[in-house]
Structure 1
């Protein structure tokens, strides 16, 4: 089955930032607004978007109060929504690469099994799930290379970028739904950008991590519309000269 990306172009707000730390933070959350043709560098309007944001946050996130919203922001900035297990698995791979200079899937899975048993004291079912994750990551990375989300020898270093990118959008929707004021939303955007710089070295590196976090969280190896929802924005943000990734340095 062929799934189309359905992404028209990068939309910017003339009033929004185009350079500096705030623009960088907004650019870390660009996948979602690009996917729906909204400005990447602006918060939602608390007048025009109030009802829609409130309904969307309630339906998709269970957020109906300011406390609910604040809790979700904390989870996202803490990398707790997609969960830390995938990054543990990716970290074990980096350890194997440092020690041996190369790896294959059985070697990686064996290292994950040992690490989960002896370092993390995981239960057998949890160990099996982490070992399974290594295979899931391997298959997605292979598809990413085919679709241009990774170079031919590239690997994903972290999936925390997915939560950090969503934190930017939680700030966008929270301001639009009047769950926070503008300075609070801006601080979240800046913090998300700082966290992305701590975990990634480039926009391409970040985007591959964001995409892997998304598909592991929702796609279940179906490679359907949820996969296309990150592939299309990635391609546009990397290739379109109007993309913030062309003029906002990642570092």
Structure 2
């Protein structure tokens, strides 16, 4: 079955930033606004209200207090939600490639197997990540999320992008003020600049983090709901990814 891209459209508010560090931070959280057709460059959404944001925070994050919002924001900015184990596996491939020039999955699995012995949890799950990542990257290349021969170097962008979404919800739900929410957006943008080299590089990392977390290789809604925004943000003339430099 072919599943169509889930894209509503790219929306911006004239009152929001279009250039500078704050706009860059908002652009790092643009996948979700494009998916639901809300402004990418603002904390607020005119069609959402206080209760919507509080309900979303409670249902999706278990957040019911300002303290809980702050803890989760810090957790995401530290890259501790989806990122650590997957990024460690990707880092092993980067180091192998630096030494040998190319990496075949067998050598990568062996490196992960050796490293996983000293890690918490089931080492087999970490080794299995090699196959999961390889298959998603092949699909990304087929769908244009990665260029031919391209790979993902980090999934930390998924945590950072979600930190921007959390800032929007926290502000809308009254769990933080405007200054605190913007500080999270700015921090997320700065962290993305450190981890990635371009919007395409960032988006592929965000996408891989999302699909490993939620899609389970079904290539269903969770896959197309990130593929569609990626395509629009990379090509639409009014996209922040087109008019904003990444670094």
Per the normalisation by structure 1, the TM-score is: 0.96
Task: Determine whether 1:183 maps to 2:160.
Answer: no
Alignment partners' CA distance in 2, 1:166 and 1:60: 12
- The DSSP-based 3-state class of the residue aligned with 2:68 is helix
Alignment partners' CA distance in 1, 2:130 and 2:207: 16
Structure 1 equivalent of residue 158 of structure 2: 162
Structure 1 equivalent of residue 94 of structure 2: 94
Alpha-carbon displacement from aligned partner over 1:133-191 (angstroms, at most 9, x marks no partner): 01100000000000000001100000000000000010011000010000000100000
In structure 1, which of residues 118, 122, 126 is the aligned counterpart of residue 119 of structure 2? 122
Structure 2 equivalent of residue 42 of structure 1: 42
Structure 2 equivalent of residue 8 of structure 1: 8
Contact 2:83–2:159 under 8 Å retained in 1: no
Contact 1:105–1:134 under 8 Å retained in 2: yes
Structure 2 equivalent of residue 226 of structure 1: 222
Structure 1 equivalent of residue 76 of structure 2: 76
Q: Which runs of 4+ in 1 moved over 3 A?
A: 45-48
Contact 1:46–1:176 under 8 Å retained in 2: no
Change (3 A) 1:240 1:148: same
Structure 2 equivalent of residue 135 of structure 1: 131
Change (3 A) 1:236 1:115: same
Contact 1:31–1:233 under 8 Å retained in 2: yes
Alignment partners' CA distance in 2, 1:45 and 1:28: 17
Structure 2 equivalent of residue 29 of structure 1: 29
Contact 2:90–2:154 under 8 Å retained in 1: yes
Alignment partners' CA distance in 2, 1:161 and 1:48: 25
Contact 2:38–2:45 under 8 Å retained in 1: no
Unaligned runs of 5+ in 2: none
Task: Determine whether 1:17 maps to 2:17.
Answer: yes
Alignment partners' CA distance in 1, 2:189 and 2:12: 18
- The DSSP-based 3-state class of the residue aligned with 1:91 is helix
Contact 1:46–1:178 under 8 Å retained in 2: no
Task: Determine whether 1:212 maps to 2:240.
Answer: no
Shift of 1:47: 10
Contact 2:11–2:37 under 8 Å retained in 1: yes
Alignment partners' CA distance in 2, 1:96 and 1:44: 44
Q: Between Structure 1 and Structure 2, how many residues are aligned?
A: 247
Shift of 1:236: 0.4
Unaligned runs of 5+ in 1: none
Contact 2:203–2:230 under 8 Å retained in 1: yes
